[in-house]
Amino acid sequence: MVVGNGSGSRLDTARAFDTGPGADSKVGLVAHTPFWLFDHGKELSRRGWDVSLFTGTPIWMVDRKAARRIHVKLSWGTAAQALHRLGRVGIDVPRGWTWRMERRARTQFGSWVARHLDGFAIVEALSSWGVEVAAAVRRHGGRYVCSRGSSHILFQKAILEDEFARWSCPKPDGFPDWIVARELAEYEAADAIAVPSQFVRRTFLEYGVPAHKLHLCPYGANISLYSPRPRQGNRFRVLFVGSASIRKGIGYLLEAMKPLVKRNLAELWLVGAVSPDAKALLGRHRDLFVHKGFVPPTRLAEMYSQGSVLVLPSIEEGLGRVQVQAMACGVPVIATVNTGAEDLLTDGQEGFIVPIRDSRAILERLEWMIDHPAEREEMGRAAVRRVTYLGGWQAYGEAVERMYRELLRTA
């Protein structure tokens, strides 16, 4: 089956793959790149929903269980994905290039999806990719869900611009006027906005979005990949997993680690890429950390298990899934309130929740863990129990189903 505009160019080809039967209620998922919507589709398909996935990700990179039908359009969005992935291996691509691609990709991809939405009861699209989709869904009598993985775009823009100024960095380049306008238009048009954490929900309420539109759907994690593994040595080791960046608060973690490293009480491992905005900062503190670089998912459980604690000091992110992964490996977590931590752990039981921009609070919690090894180990065991209780993607699927059924009842 071929779906497309018939132009025949490489960037405009689209293919659909039918992978089996489904339920009566047709759901469309619009995700140019995996993020969480591929796992979302897999869980909904497992529950019997008739799911179609529209994506710009090459088919060989898509799990066929993600949807009954997988529609692939290789486009400018695909090219932008490839450039972003270069950052994982330390190759910086000028953001001006990728943003020009991204702008063209959104209108091109959204217009293509909009032509193929007849018969869908619900269509859920990643935020900033749904402007064209929203209007088409409404014309066909369906319901449109905006899936937003971070805080409200205006909150995000304001707090990150302030944070970059604190570290004497140029303004973050992720908020061109056109993308802010797309996000705001989607919030207005949406029948529902799916958000991953209480933190994100609060930012939407702060900017006047009605509470009835907001549906809390905390992401799951494939916890079958994560479990405690043998640990080598007894060194107190702090882990940071993800892109080391200003947004993720890496400067506050370095400030907290400085006295511990100087007193030879702890070491810090950075796992993942280094964002261009943090390179100068990390360069000035090379003596405080060991950079492990990118670690493939198949090796992450082993890496987590070498840590005494995971620290996620982010200034803003919707729900840091590295927290769940670490907890599944028996590693307690110290995270800021702006990471979705309150939806994953109880302060003082599986770890600690601290304010943003507070290196002193991070240092105090680390010192407590160093001084209380038995209690820290119990926190790790409690973390495993908590993750088991949360239930991976199953609880997420239940939350999404509640949202969908409410939309269908009020259609």
Domain layout of the chain by residue ranges: 10-220+393-409, 223-390
Asked whether 383 and 330 are in contact (CB, 8 A), the reply is: yes
User: Quick check: do 10-220+393-409 and 223-390 share a fold?
Assistant: yes
What's the whole-number average pLDDT of the chain?
89
Per-residue pLDDT at 79 exceeds 80: no
What confidence score (pLDDT) does residue 9 get? 34
Range in 199-208, 210-219, 226-235, 284-293 the model is least confident about: 226-235
> Please, what is the Cα angle at 187 between 141 and 322, to 5 degrees?
115
The bridge status of strand 69-73 relative to strand 14-18 is antiparallel
Pick the CATH number of 10-220+393-409 from 3.40.50.2000, 3.40.50.10300, 3.40.190.10, 3.40.50.2300: 3.40.50.2000
The bridge status of strand 333-336 relative to strand 309-312 is parallel
Q: How confident is the model at residue 146 (pLDDT cuts 50, 70, 90)?
A: very high
Asked whether 135 and 114 are in contact (CB, 8 A), the reply is: yes
What confidence score (pLDDT) does residue 174 get? 84
What confidence score (pLDDT) does residue 92 get? 62
Calpha distance 314→337 (Å, rounded): 9
Q: For 127-139, what is each residue's pLDDT tens digit?
A: 999 999 999 998 9
Write down the pTM of the prediction: 0.90
Q: How confident is the model at residue 216 (pLDDT cuts 50, 70, 90)?
A: very high
What confidence score (pLDDT) does residue 10 get? 35
> Please, what is the Cα angle at 360 between 356 and 361, to 5 degrees?
60
What confidence score (pLDDT) does residue 98 get? 72
What confidence score (pLDDT) does residue 6 get? 34
Of the chain, the percentage scoring pLDDT greater than 90 comes to 71
Range in 12-16, 144-148, 328-332 the model is least confident about: 12-16
Q: Which residues pair with 145 in a beta bridge?
A: 124, 192
Q: How confident is the model at residue 78 (pLDDT cuts 50, 70, 90)?
A: low
Average pLDDT over residues 315-325: 95
CB atoms within 10 A of CB 183: 23
Average pLDDT over residues 10-22: 49
Q: For 259-275, what is each residue's pLDDT tens digit?
A: 999 999 999 999 999 99
Per-residue pLDDT at 282 exceeds 70: yes
What confidence score (pLDDT) does residue 22 get? 47
Average pLDDT over residues 184-192: 97
Q: How confident is the model at residue 410 (pLDDT cuts 50, 70, 90)?
A: confident
Residues in the chain: 411
Per-residue pLDDT at 285 exceeds 70: yes
| CATH number, span 223-390 | 3.40.50.2000
Per-residue pLDDT at 395 exceeds 60: yes
